[in-house]
Amino acid sequence: MNSPSHRLFSALFRYPLLILGLLTVVVIFLVLQIPRLTLDASADSLVLEGDKALEVYREMSKRYESESSLVITYSPSENLFSTPALQNLAALRNDLLELPGVSSVNTILDVPLLYSPPVTLNNLAEGVRFLEDPNTDRTLVRKEFQNSPIYRSLLTSTDERTTVLQVNLQRDEQFFTLLDARDQLRTKQRNRGLNSEELVSLNQAEEAFSKYSKVASARERTLVTDVRSV
């Protein structure tokens, strides 16, 4: 009867209105804080700091200046290789190209055809065919997309009802500049340690990257909304 839990429950039942009032105040306070909550789904939050795979990926991205991309699936009601479906796909691609932040869009209309008909090395200098070319044999194109070691299972589904559009986004150089500055200091801190001046620089670099990441994330959300509208 004298245990702490018994005394706690006794107090709860002795002052129910006070306890309910306090709980109501706490709930209201938490509800008001909801707009301030943010979810960080970046690579930094999903892997451990110093992850080797992430370091290699970022080094390759830096070296080759790779771009991020969105992938859209397109499943027309008519045959995928019919004229109306391809015209619709071309219109969709062109609308996406007009969006700010989009650098290019890759579709089945834009990839070079090497087996429709087969192209030799000598013919490559004369140019290759594309699906949009008026003289392209669409039957051969279908076979190429299904059997080509380059395109198989990448551009069209096995039932030939769905294709993809790769929307490439303009590379944000400011983002990668701030990221590189922060990561260099973090790497030095792990390997050799930092002096007081470098610790200040690391804090400033982390704060600058964090602030810009929020701006970049907001811009990306707007772009995704625009893509969905298209």
Each residue's pLDDT tens digit, 78-99: 999 999 999 999 999 999 999 9
List b or e across 18-49, with b for residues whose CB sees 16 or more CB atoms inside 10 angstroms: eeeeeeeeeeeeeeeeeeeeeeeeeebeeeee
What's the pLDDT score for residue 96?
97
Higher-pLDDT residue of 228, 65? 228
| Percentage of residues of the chain with pLDDT beyond 70 | 93
- Asked whether the predicted pLDDT for residue 47 surpasses 70, the reply is no
- From the CB of residue 57, how many other CB atoms can be counted at a distance below 10 Å? 14
Whether omega for the bond prior to residue 4 falls within 30 degrees of 0, making it cis, is no
Contacts of 158 (CB under 8 A, 6+ apart): 146
What's the pLDDT score for residue 76?
95
What's the pLDDT score for residue 39?
67
Its pTM stands at 0.72
From residue 109, how far is each of 85, 86, 166, 188 by CA, in Å?
11, 8, 12, 47
How does the average pLDDT of the chain come out, rounded? 88
**pLDDT confidence bin for 41, thresholds 50/70/90:** low
What's the pLDDT score for residue 110?
93
What's the pLDDT score for residue 174?
93
What's the pLDDT score for residue 43?
62
DSSP codes, 31-52: HHHGGG-----SHHHHS-TT-H
